[in-house]
Amino acid sequence: MRLHRLTSTTLLVALSVATGFATYKVRAAVHPSVSEHLDTARVQSQLGNDNEAGGYAQSMLMGPKIHVHLNYGDAVQLEDCDRAVAGAFDMWETALGHQIHFELVDTPKEAEVEVTFGKNVKLKGQIVSGYINWSRSISTTTGEVKPLFSADVKLRTTDPKGRPLSFEAMRHTFGHELGHMFGLDDVKQIGKLMGPLDLRRPVSKPDESEIETVLAIRDECKSIIAKRGKGTHAQFFSGGCSCHHDH
């Protein structure tokens, strides 16, 4: 876990290390837990457990439609919250060539992703602009493998002085957290979506290296799924990882 402290202008961030894939080359930092998750899928594939391998890969892809529920909490700038959410959705839908689509739903039970806004988002007592927890796993019942995915996002609506954050700043933060959800890790460069939040110059979209890396992750998942055999008996197995990131 990396703790990002929010200052009046810049979010300080720790150095992250890029992780290479066995099959695909990546140009941006990949979170280690995602590499471990895909390694699990690869191992299952090598063992001939194609259904389990495909289940892990599908939990990384999350399906073509991702359902999101919004909890406005104590936010007052509801219009800016909505604009930030819509902007973050659009940046990633466009970046990924509309392979995925975000859809807002009315209740948490309908959602894979729960987003909560708050004036005083903190992590371990430190002010942060946002953070995400996610879980990916598979379950098997009577031989059928089911991919599982869920995420919980917290987004701050005020700066350290209590002033409302702009929708651009909240869009950067939400887009950053979605970047984690797609597999990217933090970087230290200001001006990148996965870098620190500069309140004076929020980032509006992922750059080419970030997009190519997410697409590489997704391509590898699709390759693993394509190897899934028909009629393979799925031995009872469940597992996954829970990941926590803050921004």
Angle between helices 50-61 and 208-226 (to 10 degrees): 150
pLDDT at 194: 96
Tens digit of pLDDT for each residue in 125-181?
A: 889 999 999 999 999 876 788 999 999 999 999 998 999 999 999 999 999 999 999
Asked if the structure places residue 135 within a domain, the reply is yes
Which of the pair, 217 or 25, is modelled with greater confidence? Answer: 217
Segments forming the whole domain that contains residue 52: 32-227+236-246
* All residues at 6 or more sequence positions from 162 whose CB lies less than 8 Å from its CB, including other chains: 119
Rounded distance between C-alpha atoms, residue 125 and residue 128, angstroms = 9
Asked if the structure places residue 13 within a domain, the reply is no
Write out the two tokens for 153: 């996002």
Asked if the structure places residue 11 within a domain, the reply is no
- Number of domains, the chain: 1
* pTM for the model: 0.83
Asked if the structure places residue 83 within a domain, the reply is yes
Q: CB–CB of 13/4 below 8 Å?
A: yes
Asked whether residue 2 carries a pLDDT value surpassing 60, the answer given is no
Write out the two tokens for 32: 């280690």
CA 39 to chain centre: 18
Largest separation between any pair of C-alpha atoms in the chain: 60
Write out the two tokens for 1: 């876990």
Tens digit of pLDDT for each residue in 55-90?
A: 999 999 999 999 999 999 999 999 999 999 999 999
pLDDT at 1: 28
Find the angle CA(217)-CA(81)-CA(135) to the nearest 5 degrees.
35
Asked whether residue 7 carries a pLDDT value surpassing 90, the answer given is no
pLDDT at 131: 96
Asked if the structure places residue 216 within a domain, the reply is yes
Asked if the structure places residue 10 within a domain, the reply is no
What is the average pLDDT across 9-24? 34
Residue type, 105: V
Q: What is the CATH number of the domain that holds 80?
A: 3.40.390.10
